[in-house]
A and B are shown apart, each in its own frame.
Chain A
């Protein structure tokens, strides 16, 4: 847990320093006025890419949890496209994504509570819907 906190602090400091925690900066990137945000996304992916490539070769398991080092691979299905598109509309409208929203609160931006509130509402709505769909498909269908 202390290590998660340290990692989070570095992560959050980086989001503040890069100004990705400012919706305006994300919006100027998306409207092609300032391409600097590419350096945040690719810079971070390159750094993590080195770790994801190297760690599994030098150690079998993480020291604190004993978990095996694995790459972050998730199965591809239609949801990745549908969810990605919905997220894209939201990101393009608001200029904020989840991690940056937490960081935005840290730099003093209390207005971002609107976005955080919205994210919880959205996550709750999809969770409610998907929980019900899962329960319905698990139960034997009697309606038809």
Chain B
């Protein structure tokens, strides 16, 4: 029988349980591993932003990614496709598992029998936050997948410092924005 105090603390720290997070994290790691084992590539998601710009811009900063831009396009398409596969199966309730907690965030809508999801976070936050994400990940040599998954998985000191930096600043920013009463 679990200690009631431990159970209560766990419920406060993890109101949605941990199984969906743990399973999702294992799959994210597995996806990166499949690519690494087959190709030796440590895949990251944010270089796609620059490599794709090389199709439309001659700037030297983007042209250096010409050799990798095609597989990066395929990788990103795969991420979208994988998430869509999740929407068609688990999110739509076609496949049910006790490991998945649907939660109450955002809104769902139906399209052609598929349950889709929409965020309630305001567009201006997404847009201006997105600009900073685009600048910061490219100057900082990586994002949550490059630094966070592959870099930390490589025990790279650069990536550990990078993750610690963006995590600490993100926590501070989100707390300030919430304290200013911006919801959602």
Residues of A within 8 A of B (CB): 1, 3-25, 27-28, 30-52, 55, 61-65, 67-76, 79-112, 114-128, 130-131, 134-135
Contact = CB atoms under 8 A, between A and B. Distances in A.
A72 B31 contact: no
12 contacts: A13-B27, A14-B26, A18-B25, A45-B148, A55-B36, A74-B156, A74-B158, A82-B139, A87-B169, A88-B167, A98-B45, A98-B143
Contact of A64 (B21, B39, B136, B175): B39
Q: Determine the main DSSP class of B at the interface with A.
A: helix
A65 B55 CA distance: 24
A82 B100 CA distance: 37
Interface of B: 13-18, 20-43, 45-46, 48-50, 52-53, 57, 59-62, 70-71, 74-87, 90-91, 100, 103, 105-106, 109, 111, 114-121, 123-146, 148-159, 161-163, 165-178, 184
Q: Determine the main DSSP class of A at the interface with B.
A: helix
A121 B119 contact: no
Nearest to A28: B105
A21 B119 CA distance: 10
A95 B53 contact: no
Contacts of A104: 83, 119
B61 A131 contact: yes
Contacts of A91: 129, 133, 144, 166, 170, 173
Contacts of B61: 126-128, 130-131, 134
Contact of B140 (A87, A94, A134): A87
A4 B134 contact: no
B152 A45 contact: yes
A71 B153 CA distance: 8
Contacts of B60: 131, 134-135
Contacts of A37: 21
